[in-house]
């Protein structure tokens, strides 16, 4: 009898994964299924409501149709307010995030302590949600647009500062060294060696955040911080469903408008 070469034994049938890989994959799948089963079996849900949900949702949708445009002028005014909240807050946040980004980038920070202060500001700003910031600032400034602007601003600083800090860390260091060699001051180094390199990233990040802020500021009104959310809340509380759907349509238009504007600006700038 002819002896088969060991190589032939392994090659006579093809398989995509080795046995070990296959075991890992099935193991992962089993773990996922177990976790899902645990979540499904122990979640505190009234199952009758679940089976009833499609009917209820269809019912609600039916009540929303057709949208009622009678309140359109005040809806549009609130939308304008929402745009202002997002825009002003983004502008302030951009200005305030510049020094934070500078000290939280490892290559420009003056020292360790400043680095950690910067990191702490970034993390604490990002971990608290806009709604929670808004709850706090409504308590301070009273209900209205000012609380909304400050809330969005506090949330945006972390996002802008983090991404901008990363952009600063990625710069080419040679222009900085060249300027240092000529004896330029710290300020001039920042202005001529760092700023031009991070400028495109800076605008891209600011535009992206503006787009996100448009969405975020639509819900501020739900906790009393101004914008379209106030009208939405009022319409929901009074069961005025045709107006609710009108508000939702306007928000949809606003967000699509924001996406069009931001992609246009990105193309123009980059």
Residues at the interface with another protein (CB under 8 A): 35-36, 38-40, 42-46, 49-50, 52-53, 56-57, 59-60, 84, 87-88, 91, 123-124, 127-129, 131-132, 135-136, 139-142, 144-146, 149, 192, 196, 199, 215-216, 218-219, 222-223, 229, 232, 236, 244, 248, 251-252, 255-256
Taking the complex as a whole, how short is the minimal distance between the CB of residue 56 and another protein, in angstroms?
Answer: 5
Q: Report the nearest approach of another protein to the CB of residue 149 (Å).
A: 8
Q: Which is nearer to another protein, 136 or 261 (CB)?
A: 136
φ and ψ at residue 105, rounded to 5 degrees: -90, 135
DSSP codes joined into one string, 138-164? HHHH-SSHHHHHHHHHHHHHHHHHHHH
> What is the closest distance, in whole angstroms, from the C-beta atom of residue 8 to another protein in the complex?
27
What is the nearest approach in angstroms of another protein to the Cβ of residue 170? 19
Classify residue 113 by burial, with Cβ atoms within 10 Å: 0-12, 13-18, 19+: exposed
Do residues 193 and 176 touch, judged by C-beta distance below 8 A?
yes
For another protein, which is the closer residue by CB, 5 or 49? Answer: 49
Neighbours of 159 (CB within 10 A): 19
Closer of 171 and 228 to another protein (Cβ):
228
Place of tokens 């549009």: 76
CA distances from 9 to 1, 12, 14, 128, 215 (A): 16, 6, 11, 59, 60
Closer to another protein by CB, 17 or 110: give it: 17
Nearer to another protein, 23 or 110 (CB): 23
Q: Which is closer to another protein, CB of 52 or CB of 177?
A: 52
> Least distance from C-beta 13 to another protein, angstroms?
18
Q: For residue 1, what are the contacts with CB-CB under 8 A and spacing of at least 6?
A: none
Minimum Å gap between C-beta 61 and another protein is 9
Please name which of 161, 144, 148 lies closest in space to residue 88, comparing C-alpha atoms. Answer: 148
């Amino acid at each position: 009898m002819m002896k088969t070469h060991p190589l032939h034994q392994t090659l006579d049938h093809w398989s995509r994964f080795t046995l070990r890989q296959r075991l890992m994959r099935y193991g992962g799948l089993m773990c996922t299924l177990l976790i899902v089963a645990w979540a499904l079996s122990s979640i505190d849900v009234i199952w009758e409501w679940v089976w009833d949900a499609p009917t209820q949702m269809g019912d609600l949708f039916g009540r929303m149709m057709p949208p009622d445009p009678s309140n359109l002028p005040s809806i549009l005014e609130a939308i304008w307010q929402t745009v202002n909240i997002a825009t002003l807050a983004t502008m302030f946040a951009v200005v305030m995030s510049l020094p934070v980004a500078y000290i939280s980038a490892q290559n420009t920070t003056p020292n360790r302590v400043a680095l950690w202060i910067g990191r702490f500001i970034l993390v604490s700003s990002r971990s608290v949600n806009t709604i929670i910031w808004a709850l706090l600032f409504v308590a301070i400034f009273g209900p209205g647009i000012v609380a909304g602007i400050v809330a969005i601003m506090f949330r945006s600083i972390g996002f802008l500062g983090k991404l901008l800090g990363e952009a600063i860390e990625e710069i080419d260091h040679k222009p900085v060294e060249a300027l240092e060699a000529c004896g330029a001051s710290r300020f001039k180094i920042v202005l001529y060696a760092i700023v031009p390199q991070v400028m495109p990233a800076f605008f891209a990040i600011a535009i992206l955040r503006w787009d996100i802020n448009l969405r975020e500021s639509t819900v501020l009104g739900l906790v009393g911080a101004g914008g379209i959310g106030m009208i939405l809340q009022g319409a929901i509380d009074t069961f005025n469903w045709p107006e609710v759907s009108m508000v939702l349509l306007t928000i949809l238009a606003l967000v699509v408008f924001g996406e069009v504007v931001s992609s246009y600006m990105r193309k123009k700038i980059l």
